[in-house]
């Protein structure tokens, strides 16, 4: 692993860790508040039915937990790959899959800042995966 590849993998690891923190904050703090009727602009808004709010909150937390767990595993493995100068193929592939899901969800919700941030994380992941394939094969 060359120093440029190692540096890019370190930067990408940092970006994925930051994205994991943001996914966790959104899934466990902001989404439940929003679904319970607390709007960012207003003190309170007229929320939907409690059953619907609870279902959306549970779904946001479940998806958030899965994304945070997968990204935490990926960050741990990518950190080890930077330190040991070894392949990070599986962890990069997992992080790419999570980022594709985040991009798809943000596009579905028409949330442009989240799309831009997720693409900014996805592009270095794809570049690292390409460099990893070139360096270590498969």
The CA-based angle 72-60-51, given to 5 degrees, is 155
Residues 77, 88: contact at Cβ < 8 Å?
A: yes
Residue the block writes with tokens 């899965």: 66
**Alpha helices by DSSP H, 26-49:** 31-35
pLDDT in tens for each of the 138 residues of the chain?
Answer: 788 888 999 999 999 999 999 989 988 888 878 777 766 665 555 555 677 878 888 888 898 899 999 999 999 999 999 888 888 889 999 999 999 998 998 898 788 888 999 999 999 999 999 998 888 876
- 90: nearest Cα among 104, 105, 76: 76
CA dist 109 and 56 (Å) reads 14
For residues 23 and 56, what is the distance between their CA atoms, to the nearest angstrom? 16
Write down the pLDDT at residue 4: 86
């Amino acid at each position: 692993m060359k120093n440029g590849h190692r540096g890019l993998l370190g930067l990408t690891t940092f970006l994925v860790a930051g994205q994991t923190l943001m996914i966790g904050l959104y899934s466990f703090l902001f989404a439940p508040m929003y679904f319970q009727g607390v709007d960012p602009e207003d003190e309170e808004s007229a929320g939907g039915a409690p059953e619907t709010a609870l279902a959306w909150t549970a779904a946001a937390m479940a998806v958030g937990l899965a994304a945070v767990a997968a990204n935490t595993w990926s960050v741990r493995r990518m950190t080890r790959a930077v330190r040991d100068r070894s392949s990070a193929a599986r962890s990069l592939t997992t992080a790419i899959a999570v980022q594709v899901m985040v991009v798809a969800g943000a596009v579905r919700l028409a949330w442009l800042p989240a799309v831009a941030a997720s693409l900014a994380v996805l592009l270095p992941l794809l570049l690292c995966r390409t460099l990893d394939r070139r360096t270590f094969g498969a």
